Chains A and B, each alone.
Chain A
C-alpha cells in the first residue's frame, strides 16, 4: 500500500539519470534540487493558492446554503416538504459527468469560464444533496424542548437557527466541511472544463499538465507528485476523525 508512495518520495530525490540506472534502491547521492526547484517556482504555489481558495469558497457556500435548507427540512412542517426533500436526495444519484456538457455551456453564457466562481458554484450545487441529508439528520436530533424554551424567550426561527442550532451542530458542520474540502480539492473534470488559462488551475490540473510537459524527466514529475500530495495528506491527518465519521454517517443515512 505504502510502496507506491514511498517509491515516489525516494524517486523524487534522484536525478532522472539515476532513476533509470537505479530505479529501486536508495538515492545515491540524494538530489534535493527536484523538490527545491518546484518549491522555488511561483507556479506551484499558485496552484496551492487557487485550490485553497476554491475549496474554501465551495465549503462556505455549500455549508451555509445547506444549513438553511436542512434547518427548514428538520424543524418545520410545511406543504411540499417531502417532495422537495426527495428532489434533493435524488441529486445524490446525479452523476456529475451527465451535467458536465450543458453546465459548461451555461457557464460559458454566464461568462463564468476562467473565473473561480465557475467552479465554486457548481461544486457547491452538486454538494448540496449530501450535505443537506447529513445536516438534516443532525438537526432533527436537537431536542424540541430547547426550541420551545428559546421560543418562550422570544427567539424567532432565524435567531434560534443562528444562536442555538448552529453552535450546537458544530461537529456535524465540521464533518460536512471536511467532506466539501476534500471533494473540491480532488475535483478534476470541472476545473478542467472551466479553466482554459493557467491562472486558476488547481492541483489536479497542474499535476496532469506538469506530467505532459516534463514527460521525459521522471524524477522531476515524481517530486512534483509528492509535493502535490502533501497538502491533502496533511489535511487528512488533521481532519481524519471528522472525515471518517462523516463517511460512515453519510453512507448509513444517504
Chain B
C-alpha cells in the first residue's frame, strides 16, 4: 500500500479524478496518467498471457456451449440451452455428479481426519519424524499418471500385489476385479487418491499445528485438561482456518479430478468411475461433440464457482474475524 512511486501521497487506490486545482491541474493529470501507465505497464505481459490462454478459452467454451458443433470451423448451429437441458437428463453426467459427491463425502469423512491424526502424531517429538514426513509426502510429488499406472498394476486382477497379499493372509477371492468391477471401482480409486493426497493435507495441518503457540496447550495442561480435551478445545479451534482451506482444496480437487481416472480406468467399466472432466474429454476429443463437451465444461466451472463463492461467503469469512482465528498470524 505504501509506496513512494505514488504521484500524490494522499491518493489511495481507486479514488476519483483529482479535485480541480487551478493552474497545476493539467500537468497533474499528465503525471497521474504517466504513473498509471508505468503501473499498468508491468501488468501487460501477465494480462496478455492470462487473457489469451485462460480467459479467452473460458469465454469461448461458454459461447460454444450454445451450439451443436463438431469442433471444425466456427460454431454456427445455434441451439440455445439445449446442450444444458440434455446435460441434466444425461444419466452419465448425473452419475458424475453423484460420484463427485461421493468422493467429496469420503474425503471429508475418511481422508482428512486420517491426515489430521497423522499430523498430530508427527507433531510430537518422535524418533525419525523427518523421515516419516518425507515418506508420507512423497506420493504427492509423483504425477497422477505415474501413480495411476503403478496402482493399476498393484490392483491388476489375479496377478497384482493386492490379490497376492490378500491371498497370503487367507482372504482369497476378497479382492478380484478391483478397477474392473463396477461395485468396487470407486472404492479402489478412492484408496489410490488417499494414498496420493493425504500427505498434502497432512503437511498443511503440520504447518498449522506449528503456528499454534505452545503456551496455550501448556496452560490447558496446567488447568488439568486431558489429551483429548486439549485437542478438542485448544488445538482444533486454532487449527480451524487450516482445516477450512484443506476442505476447500479437497472439494475443488474432487470436482476437477481427471488424470488419475483417465490413466487407471478411463471412466470404465461402463462409466462407473467417470468424472465430469472425463466425460467432457470423451465428448470433446473422442466423439467430437464439442458443443456438448463445452456445456459440460461450463457446468463444471459453474459448480466450482458456486461452491467457491458460497464457501468464501459463509465459511472462510469467519477467518477474518474473531480473536481465536486471527491469532495464528498469517503463516509464511
Report whether B50 and A2 are in contact in the complex, using a CB–CB cutoff of 8 Å: no
* Given A68-B43, A128-B49, A251-B249: A97 and B143 interface contact (C-beta under 8 Å): no
Q: From residue A134, how far is it (CB to closest CB) to chain B in Å?
A: 8
Q: From residue B202, how far is it (CB to closest CB) to chain A in Å?
A: 11
Report whether B245 and A252 are in contact in the complex, using a CB–CB cutoff of 8 Å: yes
- Chain A residue contacts of B294, Cβ below 8 A: 101-102
Report whether A98 and B139 are in contact in the complex, using a CB–CB cutoff of 8 Å: no
Q: In the complex the two chains form, what is the Cα distance from A80 to B32 in whole Å?
A: 13
* 8 Å CB interface, B186-205 against A: 195, 199-200, 203-204
Contact with A along B43-60 (1 / 0, CB 8 A): 101110110111111101
* Given A4-B154, A97-B300: A78 and B13 interface contact (C-beta under 8 Å): yes
* Given A97-B256, A125-B54: A225 and B146 interface contact (C-beta under 8 Å): yes
Report whether B144 and A188 are in contact in the complex, using a CB–CB cutoff of 8 Å: yes
Report whether B146 and A218 are in contact in the complex, using a CB–CB cutoff of 8 Å: no
A132 at the interface (CB under 8 A from B): yes
Report whether A208 and B145 are in contact in the complex, using a CB–CB cutoff of 8 Å: yes
* Given A78-B40, A98-B297, A225-B150: A144 and B143 interface contact (C-beta under 8 Å): no
Report whether A253 and B146 are in contact in the complex, using a CB–CB cutoff of 8 Å: no
Chain B: interface residue count, which band? Answer: 35 or more
Question: In chain A, what residue has the closest Cβ to B308?
Answer: A93
Contact of A237 among B134, B203, B284 (CB under 8 A): B134
- Chain A residue contacts of B38, Cβ below 8 A: 76, 157
Report whether B280 and A101 are in contact in the complex, using a CB–CB cutoff of 8 Å: yes
Contact of A71 among B6, B42, B143 (CB under 8 A): B42
B141 at the interface (CB under 8 A from A): yes
Report whether A232 and B43 are in contact in the complex, using a CB–CB cutoff of 8 Å: no
* Given A7-B161, A99-B58, A244-B207: A252 and B332 interface contact (C-beta under 8 Å): yes
Query: Main SS of the interface on chain A?
Result: helix
Report whether B54 and A126 are in contact in the complex, using a CB–CB cutoff of 8 Å: yes
Q: In the complex the two chains form, what is the Cα distance from A187 to B145 in whole Å?
A: 9
Report whether B195 and A124 are in contact in the complex, using a CB–CB cutoff of 8 Å: no
* 8 Å CB interface, A61-85 against B: 61, 64-66, 68-69, 71-73, 75-82, 84
Report whether A66 and B57 are in contact in the complex, using a CB–CB cutoff of 8 Å: no
Report whether A251 and B298 are in contact in the complex, using a CB–CB cutoff of 8 Å: no
Q: In the complex the two chains form, what is the Cα distance from A4 to B300 in whole Å?
A: 33
A168 at the interface (CB under 8 A from B): no
Q: From residue A99, how far is it (CB to closest CB) to chain B in Å?
A: 4
Report whether B161 and A125 are in contact in the complex, using a CB–CB cutoff of 8 Å: no
Q: In the complex the two chains form, what is the Cα distance from A194 to B305 in whole Å?
A: 27
Question: In chain A, what residue has the closest Cβ to B278?
Answer: A97
Q: From residue B304, how far is it (CB to closest CB) to chain A in Å?
A: 6
Report whether B2 and A144 are in contact in the complex, using a CB–CB cutoff of 8 Å: yes
- Chain B residue contacts of A49, Cβ below 8 A: none
Report whether A77 and B263 are in contact in the complex, using a CB–CB cutoff of 8 Å: no
* 8 Å CB interface, A1-18 against B: 1-2, 4-5, 7-8
Q: In the complex the two chains form, what is the Cα distance from A76 to B259 in whole Å?
A: 40
* 8 Å CB interface, A112-153 against B: 121-122, 124-126, 128, 132, 137-138, 140, 144, 147-148, 151
Q: In the complex the two chains form, what is the Cα distance from A39 to B332 in whole Å?
A: 41
* Given A24-B165, A78-B13: A72 and B204 interface contact (C-beta under 8 Å): no
Report whether A20 and B149 are in contact in the complex, using a CB–CB cutoff of 8 Å: no
List the interface of chain B (C-beta within 8 A of A): 1-6, 11-14, 35-36, 38-43, 45-47, 49-50, 52-58, 60-61, 64, 71, 134-139, 141-146, 148-154, 156, 159, 161, 164-165, 168, 195, 199-200, 203-204, 207-208, 241-242, 245-246, 249, 252, 255-256, 258-259, 262-263, 276-277, 280-281, 284-285, 290, 293-294, 297-298, 300-301, 304-305, 308, 330-332
